[in-house]
Amino acid sequence: MRYPLDFKDDFPNNLLFWMERFIYSKLNSLSNHQVRDKKEIVNALNKLRYGIAEIKELQEICKQCRNAGLIGINTYVQPLIKLYEHLTYLGLASLKEVDEEMLKEFLTIYTSALSDATKKNYRMTLLNFFGFIDKQNEDDEGSSYNFRIELKNWGGLRGKSGQKLPSYMNENEVHRFLNGINSFPFKHEDLGARNRLLLKLIIYTGIRVSEALNLKIKDITLDGEFFLIQVRGKGNKPRVVMIKAKNISCDFSAWINFRPTEVQDELVFCNHKGKKLTQAYVSRIVEQVLLTNGIRKEKNGAHMLRHSFATLLYQKSQDLVLVQEALGHANLNTSRIYTHFDKQKLKNTTEIMN
């Protein structure tokens, strides 16, 4: 049976569903000659067949199978658990936003201290997982979405194919996007102030969607002509980003006046009930602004704003360490992807032969 790629308006649950289906297929295909208690495997299959509610359940089911003698399942579950943590943290709205560059970033972060053999297991798991989704997803019209993940060149594992570059806006498109934010016809004045502030924070600083949605009032302070923003990144690692006050002052003041008096965890951004916004909502707003202003990219989600910021930052600064610090990357190699957009260096290659 085939399923829609995004059958719910909830990225974490969609991702968990496909991991559940993938593990179910693996339990049915792995060699079971060492299995001591076949009832345990049957119980695990039943749990997966009827669906699970959280990633911890998947981990426990695989542990149950491993203890019963199905050793090979551990090769797949550990990378998938880490992948789930990584992708849900990024604040994606759709599985279609996952691309090769994003997966290579994941591999760089989570396998840097691992052996080559384990790195290969991680790569194999990602290839198998997304290959499985390629074959099993189908929309109402009978069409399938194909990720075509190859991962032929990452870290210390080299292949014939180079990296796929992420989608990003050039400087002209960024200006159009910013103008589009200001002119976009949001339904209500308070939502307009909130959404403009949110999108500007992301595009001007390159912070992740999840980092923006987790900001608290106390995290934003005015320091002369700048706002200092304390961000909690992956692993709860703190960093500080800056934004010119003139770029967000009006929207910030307007939203603070509109913002409900009782807000969950004192969050900066919330809905009318004071609850946290969803990452899917932010990506929908980004896509609407992009399309309204005639900006079309392969990936239209909110994460593309982060790529655009990082690309322009490197082009203007030529400082890879600055890009790493601004984005909160744990490894400099993760930031190195943005050196591929250096047009000035490319132009120098044209001077070799007259």
Tell me the per-residue pLDDT of 236-259, one tens digit each, with 9 for 90 and over: 788 999 999 999 999 999 999 999
Q: Which residues are catalytic?
A: 208, 234, 303, 306, 329, 338
Domain endpoint, select from 86, 109, 136: 136
Are 78 and 185 within one domain? no
Pull the structure tokens for residue 316. Answer: 């203007």
User: What is the C-alpha separation between 154 and 132, in angstroms, rounded?
Assistant: 21
Q: Does position 158 have pLDDT exceeding 90, yes or no?
A: no
SS3 label, residue 105 = helix
Query: 239-246 long-range CB contacts below 8 Å, 24 or more apart?
Result: 239/325, 239/328, 241/205, 241/206, 241/207, 241/326, 242/205, 243/200, 243/201, 243/204, 243/205, 244/204
Quick: pLDDT tens for 40-98. 888 888 888 888 889 999 999 988 888 777 777 888 999 999 999 999 998 888 999 99
Full domain range(s) for residue 66: 11-136
pLDDT at 160: 39
Let me know if residue 351 belongs to a domain.
no
Closest to 108 measured CA to CA, from 315, 339, 337: 337
In the 8-state DSSP scheme, what is residue 241? E
Q: What is the CATH number of the domain that holds 175?
A: 1.10.443.10
Are 131 and 194 within one domain? no
Closest to 126 measured CA to CA, from 155, 167, 93, 168: 155
User: What is the C-alpha separation between 76 and 63, in angstroms, rounded?
Assistant: 12
| pTM flag (> 0.75) | no
Are 87 and 191 within one domain? no
| Cβ atoms of 164 and 149 closer than 8 Å | no
Quick: pLDDT tens for 271-289. 989 998 888 889 889 999 9
User: What is the C-alpha separation between 321 and 68, in angstroms, rounded?
Assistant: 48
User: What is the C-alpha separation between 343 and 67, in angstroms, rounded?
Assistant: 54
% residues pLDDT > 90 (the chain): 47
Let me know if residue 152 belongs to a domain.
no
Are 181 and 130 within one domain? no
Which ranges of the chain would DSSP assign to H, the alpha helix? 11-29, 38-50, 55-67, 74-90, 100-111, 116-136, 171-183, 189-205, 209-213, 245-258, 279-292, 303-317, 320-327, 332-335, 343-349
Per the structure, the count of domains in the chain is 2
